[in-house]
Amino acid sequence: MKCRVCREPAVIDLRRHNANFCAEHFLRHCCQQVERVIHDYKMFSPEDRLLVAVSGGKDSLAVWDILHELGYAVDGLYVGLGIERYSGESLSYVSDFVDRRGLNLTIVDLGDTYGFDVPGAAEATGRVPCSACGLSKRHVFDSAAVDGKYDAVVTGHNLDDEAAVLYGNVMRWQVDYLGRQRPLLEARDGFPRKAKPLVRLTERETAAYCVLRGIDYQVEECPMAIGNKHLGFKETLNLLEDRSPGSKAEFYFGYLKRAVDRFSDAEDRGRLGICSGCGAPTDAEVCAFCRLVSRSAGATQPVAFKARNEATVSKR
């Protein structure tokens, strides 16, 4: 197997590109794919301040590393979820990453700041853990980006993530979600701009990027996520990909090119109000996160406003 660029021995084959790459040119390929997404979707410019949502996994560390290498100003935000041993380990990978590069990291621990953790919230509310986790992370990232006047929140969603979400939404014809599934969501109604620069890279590519860059990341799957629907969708799509390389990219990018605009009208664009608890944008009197906090902590009124303004926020 020879590298497509230099004809030296290759270390990875990318069948959907019908190409093999050596380490040097694979890393360059990853950066080029990210640059292309940033350019095509006009995500942000080198003058912008970016906040990356970082978990200690391969995707968030890869996107932070690539953007840092490309010269963007990126700070990180880590949310402590309180998931047994898993959360402590994930923070150690993030800490090691920022220490080696001298980057800025803010840590918000759900337990210290809001009085609950993801396992507790799942039990108290009867929601699946991934639901409580996603809701909490979105709230904390949105709040931090708005409060910190960042120009965009960056997440490490990759091609597999986006194809799996699209697959799930199509299977159930969730038309209100389909209209929002884009690599870039503009800021609106108090929500920050959100960008996904990794959508042209598969999970295998982001993991390979980390291995070749010497980035130590948390390989272990979150114990709360094992067996969830999202993983099942990914496995299904990878069966198709194995038989027909390029299927995931054709599915997702074909949707963006030919179909997403057809669902724009289905997206709920109703005017949002302000949460009476925390001040976040919401279509209810109290936002979903404050309701989660209230139910999880057993409180009788929203406590997030106080918690948010007296947050236990660590700056490294």
Partner 1 sequence: MFVVKVLLQYPSREIEISGPMSVTKLLRKLDLNRESVLVIGSGTLIPADSVLADDAEIEIRPVISGG
Binding site for partner 1 (CB under 8 A): 1, 9-13, 20, 23, 55, 57-59, 130, 160-161, 202-204, 206-208, 211-212, 214, 219-222, 225-226, 228, 230-231, 234-235, 238-239, 241-242
Query: At what angle are helices 129-147 and 288-297 packed, to 10 degrees?
Result: 120
Instruction: Report which secondary-structure segment, H or E, holds 91.
Output: helix 84-101
| Minimum distance, C-beta of residue 161 to partner 1, in the bound complex (Å) | 8
Residue closer to partner 1 (CB basis): 185 or 211: 211
Residue closer to partner 1 (CB basis): 103 or 118: 118
Give the burial class of 252: count Cβ atoms within 10 A of its Cβ; 0-12 exposed, 13-18 middle, 19 or more buried. Answer: buried
| Nearest one of 270, 280, 277, 274 to 294, comparing CA atoms | 277
Q: What is the DSSP letter of 188?
A: B
Give the burial class of 55: count Cβ atoms within 10 A of its Cβ; 0-12 exposed, 13-18 middle, 19 or more buried. Answer: buried
| Minimum distance, C-beta of residue 25 to partner 1, in the bound complex (Å) | 13
Rounded Cα distance, 130 and 138, in Å: 12
Residue closer to partner 1 (CB basis): 20 or 294: 20
Residue closer to partner 1 (CB basis): 204 or 295: 204
Residue closer to partner 1 (CB basis): 71 or 214: 214
| Minimum distance, C-beta of residue 227 to partner 1, in the bound complex (Å) | 8
| Minimum distance, C-beta of residue 226 to partner 1, in the bound complex (Å) | 7
Q: Which long-range contacts (CB under 8 A, 24 or more apart) does 304-310 make?
A: 304/114, 304/139, 304/277, 304/278, 305/277, 305/278, 305/279, 307/113, 307/114, 307/115, 308/113, 308/143, 308/278
| Minimum distance, C-beta of residue 198 to partner 1, in the bound complex (Å) | 12
| Minimum distance, C-beta of residue 39 to partner 1, in the bound complex (Å) | 26
Residue closer to partner 1 (CB basis): 81 or 286: 81
